[in-house]
């Protein structure tokens, strides 16, 4: 039987990320990318002339992602293994879209560290760039207010089927633009 991960990667992920707003030739940062369930479809959409920066502090999940990228012959994914530091090794105003899915909840981040990483994401995003945020394990309204307090402008809520922890789920994400 087809697993949720297979179904996600085969049929659902690309339409989901196109709906988010990812387009060919863009530069994408997938912060806390995990095994690449969003990185790989983003790389398919941006194509050879785009780039996806897959950043995570876990070498194990990044190895899984590398395997997936290899199977699909995707050469436009750049792996960024970090120590968990809150400095993103990318230039100011250098990415069109940042995916921040299921990362900054209390399992990994304190309130102060959340603020630091959101400011850092703002630094690397181009003006008018998109931050797509999945507030998994977080209060939806409080998260929205936090991002707005940093200076992100909410441009919409998106209800969708998405992949969370190897399972498909109906949930909401929030999309913001960086000013
Ligand atoms: C629950 S997983 C989500 C993975 C992926 N975004 C998804 O939605 O499928 C959270 C990921 O964030 C990574 N992470 C947590 N804190 C981090 C930090 N400070 N820097 C880089 N990665 C981090 C973890 O290693 C883990 O792979």
Sheet with strand 51-56: strands edge to edge: 77-81, 51-56, 27-31, 95-101, 125-134, 167-178, 152-164
Using 50, 70 and 90 to split pLDDT, how confident is the model at 179?
confident
Look at residue 156 in the predicted model and tell me its pLDDT. 96
Mean pLDDT over each residue of the chain, to the nearest integer: 97
Ligand 1 centre to CA of 101 (Å) is 8
Neighbours of 159 (CB within 10 A): 9
Look at residue 133 in the predicted model and tell me its pLDDT. 98
Its pTM stands at: 0.98
- Ligand 1 pocket member 84 (CB < 6 A): yes
In 3D space, the residue among 154, 53, 137 whose CA is nearest the CA of residue 101 turns out to be 137
Look at residue 13 in the predicted model and tell me its pLDDT. 98
Q: How confident is the model over 145-156, as pLDDT tens digits?
A: 999 999 999 999
Nearest residue (by CA) to ligand 1, atom 18, is: 84
Alpha carbon distance 102, 108 (integer Å):
10
Q: How confident is the model over 48-91, as pLDDT tens digits?
A: 999 999 999 999 999 999 999 999 999 999 999 999 999 999 99
Look at residue 74 in the predicted model and tell me its pLDDT. 97
- Ligand 1 pocket member 41 (CB < 6 A): no
CATH topology of domain 4-178: Rossmann fold (3.40.50)
């Amino acid at each position: 039987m087809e697993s949720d991960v297979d179904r996600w990667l085969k049929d659902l992920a690309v339409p989901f990320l196109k709906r988010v707003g990812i387009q060919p030739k863009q530069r994408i940062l997938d912060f806390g990318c995990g095994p690449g369930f969003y990185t790989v479809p983003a790389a398919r959409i941006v194509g050879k002339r785009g780039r996806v920066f897959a950043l995570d502090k876990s070498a194990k999940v990044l190895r899984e992602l590398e395997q997936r990228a290899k199977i699909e012959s995707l050469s436009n994914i750049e792996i960024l293994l970090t120590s968990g530091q809150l400095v993103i090794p990318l230039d100011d105003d250098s990415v069109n879209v940042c995916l921040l899915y299921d990362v900054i909840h209390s399992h990994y981040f304190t309130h102060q560290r959340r603020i630091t990483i959101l400011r850092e994401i703002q630094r690397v995003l181009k003006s008018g760039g998109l931050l797509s945020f999945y507030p998994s394990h977080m209060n939806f309204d409080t998260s929205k207010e936090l991002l707005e307090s940093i200076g992100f402008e909410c441009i919409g809520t998106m209800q969708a089927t998405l992949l969370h922890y190897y399972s498909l789920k109906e949930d909401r994400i929030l999309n913001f633009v960086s000013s």
